[in-house]
DNA sequence: CGAGCAATTGAAATGGGTCAAGACGTGTGG
DNA sequence: CCACACGTCTTGACCCATTTCAATTGCTCG
């Protein structure tokens, strides 16, 4: 075992590829994995145009995936936390079309890609979980695409906050209910995910606050009226 | 074997999950698959809110994947042709968040989901191909997201046409070069994929035509100046 | 030949962007 | 412990890319 607790005690195991693995295969994973990675906020896990030669599982903290255009315009594709998998399968040797960056200090578990791919052939449950993980990310991207393509700014913001809230609650072990929750994003991040300007995100949030739907200050998010917010996100009112 | 040619003669096999399968497993697929599906243009393969209890491989024709909002706004997530895989893995019993519809008459190969999932555990190469297919779709969604979120209308149209052209050429067995190619889309489809109005797509295409970059009439597409178009798509000029 | 959908074009409206100035917070170094 | 510097957020005024509305033309197919 290479740094950190054993895979058998892994606190995020049932959210990862290793879910439902028998002990023989879990031992193989344990032998394969690299020392646990601890990285600070702002670290780049994958460079745009660089390689992606590991599978990374986020054990603690938040990361984001994004691409940029030559002139600096940025699109954030996804925010990920506990249990999320980072890593390309197609053209993994080729330049990555997107970057992955730590939004907070993080801890991650790394598997070298080539050997992991071989392991997946011996552990088909892992391969199938991998497919599920990829499918989940695909569908999540479709959801965001719907927002960015067809929703108004107000609807987009409402939808994203609901989505993040759900994601955060799901990543908590104890389902802690109505406290404000930590959201390590600036309004610029929200803007870059939603295809808006940070100025307009600010205006939109101000309005939602005035209507008593959300509270968001100093990276603390609280949804004050989930039903109303859901209505806003769906285009009613 | 259930309708159509044997899997061993399948003309799209090397673009699908069955790529690189040994004959034992390929026989299993052959026994599992349902009669070949032939569907007419406009057929709904998956309903929004309905189930997704099959894996479908497109053998001929085009389909699109999209979602709609209660008031009818539509976002198209992807256009797919020869070799593409349709099917959900996560919450496949739950209502599908998107629909899949045939853009042309199509022929597809269907595998029942539950039994296919069991087969994947016996044929890990298939499971890994499945993961790759899902990853490919995820990354393709990210590309579109970048367009819709951060590119201008002009850049979006240029980028999509390049992308479709590439996709079409790749799906051709013989790499036929500089003929105009069939593109079974209306401007409304393009608009709904790019988060624009069909009116504005029309204006944008007219301009690109005037500049001699593309030709697109009656569902025939020809890229007259790929280099210039690429420059437009990247935000230069 | 007519019906109906797709595409085009013009004119006017608008949601969200841009530019700019100021307030607020927070971590840092003196 | 204070003050300053820097990043983030807010707010106002103006602008413009895209939408909306509307009318016309052109295809295609029955």
- pLDDT value of residue A176: 62
* Number of Cβ atoms within 10 Å of the Cβ of A81: 22
B67-83 confidence digits (pLDDT tens):
999 999 999 999 999 99
Residue B196 CA, nucleotide C19 C1', distance (Å): 26
How many whole angstroms separate alpha carbon B1 and alpha carbon A10? 45
* pTM confidence score: 0.95
Band of the pLDDT at B173, cuts 50, 70, 90?
confident
- Taking the C1' atom of every nucleotide in all shown strands and the CA of A197, the nearest one is C17
- pLDDT value of residue B175: 63
Is residue B140's beta carbon less than 7 angstroms from any atom in nucleic acid strand D?
Answer: no
Residue of B nearest to A128 (CA): B127
User: How large is the average pLDDT for residues B18-42?
Assistant: 95
Q: Which residues of chain A are within 8 Å of residue B84 when distances are taken between CB atoms? A: none
Band of the pLDDT at B93, cuts 50, 70, 90?
confident
Question: Which positions ≥6 away from A108 have C-beta within 8 Å?
Answer: A36, A37, A39, A45, A56, A57, A58, A59, A86
Residue B154 CA, nucleotide C13 C1', distance (Å): 22
At residue B91, does pLDDT exceed 70? yes
Rounded to the nearest angstrom, the minimum Cα separation between A180 and chain B is 29
Is residue B152's beta carbon less than 7 angstroms from any atom in nucleic acid strand D?
Answer: yes
Place of tokens 């695409």: A145
Give the B window 208-237 contacts with A, CB below 8 Å. 234-236
Rounded to the nearest angstrom, the minimum Cα separation between A160 and chain B is 14
| Cα A45 to the center of its chain, rounded Å | 13
Q: Which residues of chain B are within 8 Å of residue A88 when distances are taken between CB atoms? A: 135, 139
How many whole angstroms separate alpha carbon B85 and alpha carbon B92? 15
What is the torsional sign of CA A173, A177, A180, A183?
Answer: positive
φ, ψ dihedrals at A156, nearest 5°: -60, -50
The answer to whether the beta carbons of residues A146 and B68 sit under 8 Å apart is: no
pLDDT per position in chain A (237 positions), as tens?
555 689 999 999 999 999 989 999 999 999 999 999 999 999 999 999 999 999 999 999 999 999 999 999 999 999 999 999 999 999 888 999 999 999 999 999 999 999 999 999 999 999 999 999 999 999 999 999 999 999 999 999 999 999 999 999 988 876 665 678 999 999 999 999 999 999 999 999 999 999 999 999 999 999 999 999 999 999 887
Residue B203 CA, nucleotide D26 C1', distance (Å): 17
Residue of B nearest to A145 (CA): B145
């Amino acid at each position: 075992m290479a740094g950190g607790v054993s895979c058998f005690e892994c606190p995020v195991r049932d959210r990862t590829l290793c879910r439902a693995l028998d002990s023989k295969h879990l031992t193989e994973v344990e032998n394969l994995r690299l020392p646990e990675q601890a990285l600070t906020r702002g670290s780049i896990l994958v460079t745009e145009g660089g390689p992606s030669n590991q599978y990374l599982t986020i054990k603690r903290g938040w990361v984001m995936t994004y691409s940029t255009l030559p002139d600096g315009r940025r699109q954030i594709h996804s925010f990920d936390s506990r249990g999320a998998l980072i890593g390309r399968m197609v053209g993994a040797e080729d330049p990555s079309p997107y970057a992955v960056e730590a939004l907070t200090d993080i801890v991650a578990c790394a598997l070298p890609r080539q050997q992991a791919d071989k392991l997946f052939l011996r552990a088909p449950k892992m391969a199938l979980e991998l497919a599920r993980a990829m499918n989940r990310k695909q569908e999540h991207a479709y959801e965001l695409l719907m927002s960015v393509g067809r929703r108004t700014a107000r609807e987009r913001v409402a939808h994203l906050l609901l989505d993040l809230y759900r994601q955060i609650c799901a990543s908590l072990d104890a389902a802690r209910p109505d406290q404000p929750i930590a959201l390590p994003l600036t309004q610029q991040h929200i803007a870059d995910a939603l295809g808006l300007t940070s100025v307009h995100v600010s205006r939109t949030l101000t309005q939602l606050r005035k209507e008593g739907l959300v509270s968001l200050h100093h990276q603390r998010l609280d949804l004050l009226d989930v039903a109303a917010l859901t209505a806003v996100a769906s285009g009613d009112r």
